[in-house]
Amino acid sequence: MSARPEQGRADKPKPLLTDSEPARSCIASVTLEPMLARLSMISLALNSPLVRHAAALALVGWYLMIPPLAQHTLKSQTDLPISQWEQRQAFDSAQECETSKAALIRTYEDNATKNERTNDDRMKNLDERLIEHAVDGLCIATDDPRLKGK
C-alpha cells in the first residue's frame, strides 16, 4: 500500500511557519520591537517635565476676581483674602480675562462720562467708586492657592 491521499480529499496546506519557539520569538522581535521602541520614546516624551507643564497650563483657567465693596464707603476691600472676593467671570486664558477687565473699566468710565452732566454728587461718587472697583479686580489662575483661603 502506498501512502497516497484518498481521492476527493485535499491535502492539508503546510504552515509557512511552525509553532516552534524560535520562529515565534523571531516574528515577535521583528514586528513588536520597533513598535515597543516607538511607544517607549512616546512615553518618555509625554512624561517630560516640559510636556507636563504645558499640559497643566492648558488646563488652567482664569477668573476675574473683584473685591467686595465696603457697605458705607463703597471702597474696594482689597485687604480681604482673594478667597472672599467675587468671581465675576471665568475665562480660558489670562488675555481674555484682562480684555474683559478692560471692557468693564471702559463701561464704568462711559457711564461716568454720561453722568458728568448731572449735578448729583452721589452719582459722580458712585461712578468713581465703580471705576476704582473694576481697576482693583484681578485675573487669577483657577489653580491659584489664594483662592482656597486659609
Tell me the whole-structure pTM to 2 decimals. Answer: 0.58
> Domain coordinates of the chain in residue numbers?
21-54, 61-148
CA distance readout (Å), 86 to 67, 75, 111, 114: 6, 14, 22, 27
Cell numbers describing residue 116: 458728568
Cell numbers describing residue 135: 481697576
18-42 residue pLDDT tens: 555 555 555 544 566 666 666 666 6
Q: What value does the mean pLDDT take over residues 41-63?
A: 64
Which has more confidence, 112 or 39? Answer: 112
Which has more confidence, 105 or 20? Answer: 105
Give the distance, in angstroms, between the CA of residue 58 and the centroid of all CA atoms in the same chain: 4
- The residue whose grid cell reads 481697576 is 135
